[in-house]
Amino acid sequence: MPTIDELLDNARRRLRRVTAQEASAEHANGALLVDTRTSEQRAMDGEIPGALVIERTVLEWRLDPVSKARIPQATNHAVRVIVICNEGYSSSLAAASLQDLGLVNATDVIGGFQAWKGADLPLRP
């Protein structure tokens, strides 16, 4: 059985992960930036303007273009999805799961929200 570190390593090998600055630029050009942090984390640290907030527990259903529970932005399997969690761990697993669904352009942010905040990128309380 693989360990969580091995599982994370395998997930990340499949992704072309982006920095917070790259994610911000892609988001400005139309990529979906999906914040999976908990409501408590968002209340404490703030939110990213324009990011879609989708709880991790329903992420795949909301972003699968053929799901009856999908969000309107999940138009096809080529949509660019950038997942951001608090520190960039669970987002890697989430992005790999989205790729398993056929969302070939899914990835995540290296360092997560903490890297976004550290880069002085836009936030709202």
Task: State residue 29's pLDDT score.
Answer: 98
**CATH code for residues 4-118:** 3.40.250.10
Q: Which amino acid is at 13?
A: R
Q: Do the beta carbons of residue 7 and residue 55 sit within 8 Å?
A: no
Task: Work out the number of other CB atoms within 10 angstroms of the CB of residue 75.
Answer: 11
pLDDT digits (tens, 9 = 90+) for 18-59: 999 999 999 999 999 999 999 999 999 999 999 999 999 999
pTM: 0.96
Domain ranges of the chain: 4-118
CA distance 62 to 84: 15
What would the pLDDT profile of 52-75 be if each residue is shown by its tens digit?
999 999 999 999 999 999 999 999
Per-residue confidence (pLDDT) for residue 23, from 0 to 100: 98
- pLDDT per residue as tens digits for the range 67-99: 999 999 999 999 999 999 999 999 999 999 999
Confidence at residue 36, expressed as pLDDT on a 0 to 100 scale: 98
Dist CA 28 CA 17 (whole Å):
17
